[in-house]
Structure formats: C-alpha cells, structure tokens
C-alpha cells in the first residue's frame, strides 16, 4: 500500500504553497507550521515532507528553527529539503532532528560531494530529489534547468547506490489537476527496486488511489489538503491510519 506523506513548505517560518515553484504565487495557509505538523500526526501520519523554500532560494538552509520545533514537538519522521548545499547545511539538518535529507541541486552541480554524502550517511537517509520539467532536471528552487535528462540522472545515481527518490513533475505542482502517474510508472518500470516518492498535482483521493494501484511506494501532497480538496479524515480512513 502506498504511503501518504503530507507536506509543509516554509517561507518566513510560515506554511505556504506555490504554483509550479513560482514564488510570486505564494499563498500562506498557516502561521504555525508546528501546529500543522501536530495535526498531521494526530491523524496517524508517520512521515512529513518539509521544504525550506527560503533555503532553496538562498542556496543555504534557512528554516532550521522550524525543523527543530517540529522534530521536538512530534514523533513524525521528517524528510527535509531546500537549500542543502554544504556539509554544514546537511549536518545541521540531521542535528535538528530530520531523519532524511532530500538533495537535488548538489547531485546535479557537485556529484562528487553528493556521493561523499551518500557514502557517509547511507542510502537510507539521503533522498535524491529529481525535479523534472520537460524531461530535464531543474535545480536551485526550480529556477534553473540543467542539461541532465531525468532518466540519465536517475540511472547514474541508482547505479551508485541511491534507493530513495523524490520525483516532482514541476508542470503539475500546485495545479490540483492530477499527477504524472504515467511518468512514475515509467520510473518504476525502469527501476523496480527504487523507493519512489511521487510529488506534484495531487488534487483528490482518487489521484492517490490511482498512484496506489500503479504500485507507487509513496506520495507527497499538500495543496489539496490546504485547499480542502482532500480531508485528513478520508486519507486516514482509506489507509487505515491510527487517529489519536
């Protein structure tokens, strides 16, 4: 069964969402991401995806304080991404309680550094962020498009030992128009052993169920919750989460 993972995106310490990664489209949904995390936990979720959008824009981690507050206030297993560019950034993220770190841009621009991190922390703690647009990987908060194709990128790192992948179809992100289920099926077909987390476009419970039927291991979703398209109650019921 697919693992549903709610998301919290951070700007100025607030819970926000963007559309297709456009910072001008920012919409604030909560001034208290810690309370939001506690709410997710109360509905039985075990994982939380946290994105430091300030960090992605600034090229270094910014919202460490919020991460610390979430990890000390809940038992959620947090994966944190956005702005992790240096050894110091990554150390600080793990020291702040994150169980996983999602790395995208460094894997493109500094592959040797990423492989060093992979060797040091292991494939169980590093998630390869594969943010895709038109078949190519985008980096630095999706503001730059690399010359690496999605499948070459994945193939390179899976051969180096990566097992966890977060793939976002940028054209779908925040659009509430359905996910890139065919793309995720292609990834699973090519790399059946990978722990793929689908991201972008979830608009309804039906979208999550479709991904589940397609054999996708996990899905991240956020805007659909905040916009009331999906209720936490129905996710908990569908996936038999233990509500407290």
Residues annotated as part of the active site: 9, 131
User: Which of 117, 116, 148 shows the shortest CA–CA distance to 132?
Assistant: 148
Q: Which residues of 89-122 are buried (b: 16+ CB within 10 A; e: fewer)?
A: bbebbeebbbebbbbbbbbbeeeebbeebbeeee
Residue 217 is classified by DSSP as: S
The Cα 191–Cα 36 span in angstroms is 34
Q: What are the DSSP calls for 40-106, one per residue? A: HHHTT--EEEEEEHHHHHHTS---HHHHHHHHHH---EEEEESS--SHHHHHHHHHTT-SEEEE-HH
Strand 136-139 relative to strand 77-81: parallel, antiparallel, unpaired?
Answer: unpaired
What are the structure tokens assigned to 199, written together? 């991201």
User: Which of 123, 199, 197 shows the shortest CA–CA distance to 163?
Assistant: 123
The Cα 118–Cα 15 span in angstroms is 29
Contact 205/172 with Cβ under 8 angstroms? no
Contact 80/52 with Cβ under 8 angstroms? yes
């Amino acid at each position: 069964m697919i693992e549903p993972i709610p998301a919290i995106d951070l700007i100025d310490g607030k819970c926000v969402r963007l559309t297709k990664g456009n910072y001008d489209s920012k919409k604030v949904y909560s001034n208290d991401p810690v309370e939001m995390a506690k709410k997710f936990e109360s509905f039985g979720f075990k994982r939380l995806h946290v994105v430091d959008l300030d960090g992605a824009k600034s090229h270094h981690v910014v919202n460490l304080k919020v991460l610390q507050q979430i990890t000390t206030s809940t038992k959620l297993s947090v994966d944190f991404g956005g702005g992790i560019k240096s050894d110091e950034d990554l150390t600080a993220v793990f020291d702040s309680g994150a169980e996983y770190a999602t790395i995208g841009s460094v894997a493109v621009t500094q592959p040797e550094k990423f492989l060093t991190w992979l060797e040091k922390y292991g494939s169980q703690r590093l998630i390869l962020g594969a943010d895709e647009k038109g078949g190519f990987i985008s980096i630095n908060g999706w503001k730059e498009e690399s010359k690496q194709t999605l499948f070459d990128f994945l193939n390179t790192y899976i051969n180096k030992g990566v097992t966890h992948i977060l793939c976002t179809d940028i054209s779908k992100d925040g659009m509430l128009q359905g996910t890139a289920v065919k793309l995720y099926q292609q990834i699973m077909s090519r790399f059946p052993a990978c722990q793929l987390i689908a991201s972008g476009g979830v608009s309804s419970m039906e979208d999550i169920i479709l991904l589940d039927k397609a054999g996708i291991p996990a899905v991240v979703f956020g805007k659909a919750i905040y916009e009331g398209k999906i209720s936490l109650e129905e996710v908990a019921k569908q996936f038999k989460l233990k509500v407290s």
